[in-house]
Structure 1
Amino acid sequence: MRTIRIPYAELPANARAAVEAHTGPALKADSASEGLNSEIAVRLVSRTGEYYVKGRRASHRWAWTQRREAEVNPFIRGIAPALIARVESAGWDLLIFEAVDGHHADYRPGSPDLPKVVDVIRRLGQLPCPTIELRHAEQRLERYVDRPEDVAYFAGDTLLHTDWNNTNVLVAGDRALVVDWGWATKGAPWLDAAFWVIWLIASGHEPASAEQWAAQVPAWQGATVEGIDAFAVANAHMWDEIGGHDPDSWTARMVDAARRWRDHRKA
């Protein structure tokens, strides 16, 4: 279920004051139309520049993702927009990032953005995994495998993003940047390319074409056939759970993409 978003003006005055201690007084604050997981997500303009502010109430069940994003940001410079500050005030937990001018990546077949996404996944895979608290891929996926021993395929020491929704990838000029790191994970180096496959299929690729793009990420070559098969099965089970009995059209598209990839791997 997506989070209900509020406009910046509805934040408590003390929370806005805490933000503007870092940005200067807000002259304009436009709510983002995509990525509806945050309770507040705005592009804020002040005399000192432009900023992206996102956050949740400190009591939210996913409030821990704010801390995770703040902790991982120093380790992903050049891959993600820089975090300027984290403020906790009036019951809110807010992150202030540099604003990036760009567009959400286009994953459709033939898109010129696809090589840039390959490049950013490759560069992410080359970064050292920080020694901060991270979820482990094998733990996140253990509920969804057909065989308990299959989780061993997902274990590793690589920093992963795991949520390759195209709205989480901003293309700015000749580079791509990745946002929304609350679900940063530690796991096998090929997993981010595998997570991307589902989004490519949902964007119009056939499963074989999506795998060909994933194969351009060097880490993909380190995956075993059995490991990819197990992941495709687990991911299909995960999306079936997310979709439930009556998924909305967006979720139904993802459920279908995950099932198509699973069936392709089993063929």
Structure 2
Amino acid sequence: MSPGPAAVLTLGDGDRVFVKAMSTAASASSHRLYQQEADILRIIPAIVPAARLRAVVECGDWIALVLDAVAGQVAGPPWTTTAVIAAAGVCAAVADVRAPTGVPAVVERLPDLDGWTKLARGRASLSDWESRHIERLAAVTTGWRHWTSGPHLSHHDVRGDNIIIRAGDGRAVLVDWGYASHGAPWLDRALLAADVVAAGHEDGTDTARHQALELLSDQPAEAARFVIAQAGMWRRNSTLPPHPGMPTHRRWQHQRAIALQPLIEDLLPLIPT
């Protein structure tokens, strides 16, 4: 997801660390994201299941983050039922933490979830499915700046490739904290539900939808609204010019938005009008 090197390195004393680096020349936005991540990792409590920051190295227009290497496997894609359960546990653990001073509000990390509203203004770009649902999609995502707010810590970039299932105990660890924020306690669980469907499950699309609905079943309606808003953000952003150094990212966003359509059809009847 970033145009820079990332590697597990073995040090002279046999210790292992994970290092990722970025230059402003390759991507100014990714460089800034790494700076944000370093700031977050310095202040989040030790109880948060994250890889510990060892050092930050800056040289010229480069920044490198040195972190503990977590032994294990990424949760996906594709997702497995075991990985979904572990990921749900880590999302709950993070939500139980009150964000420390210095962690920004969610609205500052993802400042635009008005994708469906913006797409409604240019209907020529909409698919048949989107044209049929656009008014409802825009309506249920209105007011997100209010209903996403809260004091709870959120990783806010929950995807299978940002979760490592540790070898040995099977517990999950969240990595890539550049988008961390404070907000409603259900934010990461909603993002998990969206990723299980968008990234795919080893047992197929029906299992993915079923497990996503289970993840949302005991959450407020705003969690479902947020999943729909995320799809709108991805769909609208997929129409924008490519990111520097990331020529496939817009296609990835479009594919995720399309993959979420069946789940959205499940969720819309559950949201009060």
Q: Which band: TM-score by shorter chain? A: 0.7 to 0.9
Distance in 1 separating the partners of 2:249 and 2:113: 23
Matches for 1:1-267 after TM superposition, within 5 Å: 36-48=1-13, 49-58=15-24, 60-74=28-42, 75-77=44-46, 78-106=48-76, 111-137=81-107, 140-144=111-115, 146-147=138-139, 148-172=142-166, 173-174=168-169, 175-202=171-198, 203=200, 204=205, 205-215=207-217, 221=219, 223=220, 225=221, 227-244=222-239, 250-267=252-269
Distance in 2 separating the partners of 1:150 and 1:111: 30
Structure 1 position 108, deviation (Å):
5.4
Structure 2 SS opposite 1:65: helix
Structure 1 SS opposite 2:50: coil
Distance in 2 separating the partners of 1:132 and 1:157: 12
Distance in 1 separating the partners of 2:174 and 2:29: 23
Structure 1 position 76, deviation (Å):
4.6
Q: TM-score, normalised by structure 1?
A: 0.74
Higher relative contact order (CA 8 A, sep 6+): 2
Structure 1 SS opposite 2:29: coil
Query: Is the Cα contact below 8 Å between 2:190 and 2:216 reproduced in 1?
Result: yes
User: 1:64-87, CA deviations, whole angstroms, 9 ceiling, x for partnerless residues?
Assistant: 222221122141535111000011
Distance in 1 separating the partners of 2:153 and 2:234: 23
Structure 1 position 110, deviation (Å):
5.3
Distance in 1 separating the partners of 2:99 and 2:252: 32
Distance in 2 separating the partners of 1:240 and 1:123: 30
User: 1:63-121, CA deviations, whole angstroms, 9 ceiling, x for partnerless residues?
Assistant: 22222211221415351110000111122111100111100114657532222111111
Structure 1 SS opposite 2:82: coil
Query: Is the Cα contact below 8 Å between 1:79 and 1:177 reproduced in 2?
Result: yes
Match of 2:243 in 1: none
RMSD across aligned positions (CA): 2.6
Distance in 2 separating the partners of 1:214 and 1:38: 33
User: 1:136-178, CA deviations, whole angstroms, 9 ceiling, x for partnerless residues?
Assistant: 2486244336254343211111111122221100011321100
Distance in 2 separating the partners of 1:234 and 1:157: 21
Structure 2 SS opposite 1:63: helix
Structure 2 SS opposite 1:264: helix
Against the structure 1 CA distance between its residues 130 and 162, is the aligned structure 2 distance closer, same or farther, given a 3 Å change threshold? same
Distance in 2 separating the partners of 1:85 and 1:166: 25
The number of aligned residues is 225
Which residue identity lines up with residue 41 of structure 1 in the other structure? A
Against the structure 1 CA distance between its residues 110 and 93, is the aligned structure 2 distance closer, same or farther, given a 3 Å change threshold? closer
Q: TM-score, normalised by structure 2?
A: 0.72
Query: Is the Cα contact below 8 Å between 1:165 and 1:199 reproduced in 2?
Result: yes
Report the structure, 1 or 2, having the larger strand content: 1
User: 1:203-250, CA deviations, whole angstroms, 9 ceiling, x for partnerless residues?
Assistant: 1334343120344xxxx53x2x2x234323311211212333998764
Against the structure 1 CA distance between its residues 111 and 208, is the aligned structure 2 distance closer, same or farther, given a 3 Å change threshold? closer
Q: Sequence identity, in percent? A: 23
Against the structure 1 CA distance between its residues 214 and 177, is the aligned structure 2 distance closer, same or farther, given a 3 Å change threshold? farther
Distance in 1 separating the partners of 2:9 and 2:235: 37
Unaligned runs of 5+ in 1: 1-35
